[in-house]
């Protein structure tokens, strides 16, 4: 069974144009220095699909990071269960 989706950032060397970015519709791109960072919520199979697409396009993968969710603070208005 696939674990729950998680938030990932995928860093690729170079600035990707609109045509290449269209291969990653579930991810939000941003340029960071000389790289493009793609961010999105992916389950394991979707992550492997993105990595396969990166390889198929011949892109230079720099880094993959799974972001950990920040705990909600009591000030955020979420008081938790009654």
Pick the CATH number of 6-68 from 3.60.21, 3.40.50, 3.30.70, 1.25.40: 3.30.70
Q: What whole-number distance in Å separates Cα of residue 71 and Cα of residue 13?
A: 31
- Inform me whether the pLDDT recorded for 60 exceeds 60: yes
Which whole number is the average pLDDT over 15-38? 97
- Inform me whether the pLDDT recorded for 1 exceeds 70: no
pLDDT of amino acid 81: 54
pLDDT of amino acid 55: 97
DSSP state letters, 6-33:
EEEEEEEES---HHHHTT-TTSEEEEET
pLDDT of amino acid 82: 53
pLDDT of amino acid 2: 63
């Amino acid at each position: 069974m696939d674990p729950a989706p998680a938030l990932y950032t995928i860093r690729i060397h170079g600035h990707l144009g609109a045509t290449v970015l269209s291969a990653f519709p579930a991810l939000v791109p941003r340029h960071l220095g000389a790289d493009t960072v793609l961010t999105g919520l992916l389950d394991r199979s979707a992550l492997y699909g993105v990595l396969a697409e990166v390889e198929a396009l011949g892109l230079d993968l720099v880094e993959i990071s799974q972001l950990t969710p920040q705990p909600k603070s009591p000030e955020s208005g979420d008081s938790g269960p009654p």
